[in-house]
A and B are shown apart, each in its own frame.
Chain A
Amino acid sequence: MKRLSTDRLWSMLVLAPSVILLAVFVYGFIIRTGYTSLTDWGNNSLALDTTVKHNFIGLANYQDLFTSLLNARFRQDLVNTLFFTVFFIAGCLGLGLGLALMLDRNPKAEGLWRTIFLFPMSLSFIVTGTIWRWMLQPQGGVNKLFGLDPDKYEWLTSRSSIWQFDWNKVPLITAIVVAVVLAAVGVRALRDANRTRTIVAFACAALLLAWALLVAPRLKFIPVPELHGFNIAFIGILIAAIWQMSGYTMALYLAGLRGIPDELREAARVDGANEWGTYRHVVFPLLAPITLSAMIVLGHISLKIFDLVYAMTGPDNAPTSVPALLMYITSFRANQFAVGAAIGVVLLILVAIIIVPYLASQFRGEKRA
């Protein structure tokens, strides 16, 4: 008994410094940033006068970010992040899985290939960005190599965008998407013959749809239509980002593929499954947890991405701007510390939306085990 308590004491003593440091430098600063975002620090010209008191102004900064004319770039950055995240994750997963499947067939010099594909991950985003910037410049490597017309192949400099929508329609779009999801839940509940759930889901979906059709079109955040879409210039950055991170997903998938016992595949073949059927019904389902982990890791990378964009198109190129970049510029160049803090908090919330459910499920899993 005595032995155990000294052990306990030691463990607490050893852990204490990092717990204290974490409490101050992570959680303390998060709270401080959150508070700063609710003040008017930097909203006037006296940003750097430390004798001036900063007034508490509630959520005004957030309201400004989402609705004032002046912050169009923030909203564009959010849209950019959304598109970037989707394509980045899809690209890394697709390419990574493809490479892993190829390597899983035991080609010659497998180790060499593995190293080659994994190598980009050992570079920092700044290095990757600089290399790809050289290659994708209008008169640069890729266009020269393939004899492409620099006026048509504007990898990083294009100013056009596709799939544009009006920011004023965001509530409408959100409501419709949520309603569709609820309807899907309702259909599933109907199939499971769960009556209450069916009714609740369909009722909520109908309510949302009605709101979307009757109220939302009249809602206006901004007096003028503000179009946002997927900016073509992001294609270059996506290529670089996928090049860098698909080796990582390949390694994950390869580990997963190697972890599948041969007996399972043989059993499938005995049951009459062809090659594709084996993958479709045996291999891919077993890889699902890996896909989830990879999505979590890639998702938070893409939300926080800063250095790659900075290196490739610079901090001032609005078509390829992302929230982290805007946060840096707003705080440290325009001296609008409160607005910068607000952007930081929005980013934190976005990352939390991805990470927290995952962590929660992990903890629950651990407890069960």
Chain B
Amino acid sequence: MKRIKAALLVTTAALLASSASAAGKLEIFSWWSGDEGPALEALVKLYKQKYPSVDVVNATVAGGAGTNAKAVLKTRMLGGDPPDSFQAHAGQELIGTWVVANRMEDLSSLFKSEGWTTKFPKDLLPLISSKGGIWSVPVNVHRSNVMWYIPANLKKWGVTAPKTWDQFLTTCKTLKTKNVTPLALGENWTQQHLWESVAVGTLGAQGWQNLWSGKLKFTDPKVVKVWDTFGKVLDCTNKDASGLSWQQATDRVVNGQAAFNIMGDWAAGYLSTTKKLKPGTGFGWAPSPSTSGTFIFLADSFGLPKGAKDRAEALSWLKLLGSKQGQDTFNPLKGSIAARVDSDLSKYSTYSQSAAKDWKSNKIVGSLTHGAVAPESFTSTFGTVIDAFVASRNAQVAAATTQQLADKAGLGK
């Protein structure tokens, strides 16, 4: 009797095991934890509804902007154990790191079969393609060039949101006489973020794109002027910038210690959810100076590494990410907008609706700080250039150093 029981047990166990392996598995790798975790969970839930037999493994490595996750990912990719699909900032961060290393699969056929080539904005596709292939599916879109303020405070100080950098510098003088920090600034990457807004504002969208395609040199007088303007803008910021996170810098605006803050549109989520301010009346926004009509974008995207163990499941995951339903499930929770132009705007917040309108009509360019236009090796070292400039304020040296960096990173090749 005992023996039969044991045999039965073994057989059932074996059956269970085999059925589990037949159902398949999907491992997704990201750095979405904390605030962004629920959005990812909603997506996973949707995936499970469609493919109930697949076992989804959520391999999240926490840590700001993915620094830790990227190090873990490198170990796994180089060690021959790639996750089935992983998160990367859309554009050069993925292309300059993994596509040139010949480790990603071309997703052109997926884009064609799903009809996505017409569903994403025209300016977007070149930014996620290279060498004739399309390399990742953008899940969301964030805008980097937004200036935030509290309308009531501006009224009190008698200023309005400046439209150009020249206007900003005048406003800066007025605010300084009232003992208000004109522009709240945070740690190193937010300074890089500010530089990108200054650069796009000074060079224009076309000039910015020429910079990354190699047509415009970093040593060109026009680009040196960006550094000059950046220096003047820095004079309008708080001195303790390096000790503040972007949230703390935004807090200064909310508290009325500072007038403006230039940050990506994740700040909208922070201001409305955490700070309980009403979009439009409690807090206001405008494109950062001299960039109206231009949308500096960054996107999170997922790609398909070569040698993924569960390729079929990963492909169905990517299909879900690019679908209208997938994007409209994820983005309202994440506080971003859909990369597709046909999303259901009623699901989004007031801010996101206005951003989505701009996404369809504006000129779209890529963000430097968030990996769209330059490979990691450039972005990482560029932070050091910014730091050196903050200390020395030498525009010529900054320009020359950046050009060296661009040559080394192979920009425009």
Contacts and interface: CB of A to CB of B under 8 A. Distances in A.
Contacts of A73: 384, 387-388
B377 A332 contact: no
A70 B78 contact: no
B317 interface: no
Interface in B361-413: 375-377, 380-381, 383-384, 387-388, 390-392, 394, 396-397, 400-401, 404-405, 408-410
A343 to B, nearest CB: 13
B74 A157 contact: no
B97 A313 contact: no
A296 to B, nearest CB: 32
Interface in B62-114: 67, 70-71, 74, 77-78, 96-98, 100-103
A233 B98 CA distance: 37
B392 to A, nearest CB: 7
Contact of B103 (A48, A150, A332): A48
Contacts of B97: 47-48, 335
A275 B28 CA distance: 71
Q: Majority SS of interface residues in chain A?
A: loop
B228 interface: no
A341 B144 CA distance: 34
A362 interface: no
B381 A334 contact: yes
Contact of A156 (B243, B387, B400): B243
B380 A48 contact: no
Given A48-B101, A334-B380, A334-B381, A157 B67 contact: no
Interface string B171-204: 0000000000000000111000000000000000
B241 interface: yes
Interface in A18-64: 42-51
B123 interface: no
A246 interface: no
Given A45-B410, A48-B103, A333-B70, A319 B391 contact: yes
B278 interface: no
Contacts of B410: 44-45
A9 B372 CA distance: 62
A317 B384 contact: no
B347 interface: no
Nearest to B103: A48
Contacts of B384: 72-73, 318
A45 B377 contact: yes
B388 A335 contact: no
Contact of B377 (A42, A316, A318): A42
Nearest to A328: B71
B237 to A, nearest CB: 12
A70 B381 contact: yes
Contacts, number: 115
B240 interface: yes
Interface residues of B, number: 44
B242 interface: yes
A47 B239 contact: no
Contact of A335 (B187, B189, B376, B404): B376
Q: Tell which of B102, B188, B239, B242 has the most Cβ of chain A within 10 Å.
A: B242
Nearest to A138: B240
Nearest to A137: B243
Given A70-B404, A156-B243, A316-B383, A336 B388 contact: no
A314 interface: yes
A70 B408 contact: yes
Nearest to A43: B408
A159 B390 contact: yes
A315 B388 CA distance: 15
A227 interface: yes
A135 to B, nearest CB: 12
**A156, A159, A161: most-surrounded residue (chain B CB, <10 A):** A159
B156 to A, nearest CB: 22
B78 A50 contact: yes
Contact of A46 (B101, B387, B390): B101
Interface string B232-259: 0000000111111000000000000000
A156 B388 CA distance: 17
A319 B387 CA distance: 8
A69 interface: yes
Contacts of A333: 67, 70-71, 376, 380
Interface string A297-328: 00000000000000001111111000000000
A154 B404 contact: no
B392 A45 contact: no
Contacts of B408: 43-44, 70
A145 B70 CA distance: 40
Given A159-B391, A319-B387, A69 B401 contact: yes
11 contacts: A44-B410, A47-B377, A48-B103, A70-B381, A73-B384, A138-B244, A151-B240, A154-B239, A159-B242, A334-B381, A335-B377
Q: What are the 9 A-B residue pairs with the smallest beta carbon separation, nearest first?
A: A318-B387, A157-B243, A49-B101, A316-B188, A334-B380, A157-B240, A48-B101, A334-B377, A73-B384
Given A45-B410, A50-B78, 15 more contacts: A46-B101, A47-B101, A48-B101, A48-B103, A69-B397, A72-B384, A157-B240, A159-B391, A161-B391, A314-B188, A315-B67, A316-B188, A319-B242, A319-B387, A332-B71
Interface of B: 67, 70-71, 74, 77-78, 96-98, 100-103, 187-189, 239-244, 375-377, 380-381, 383-384, 387-388, 390-392, 394, 396-397, 400-401, 404-405, 408-410
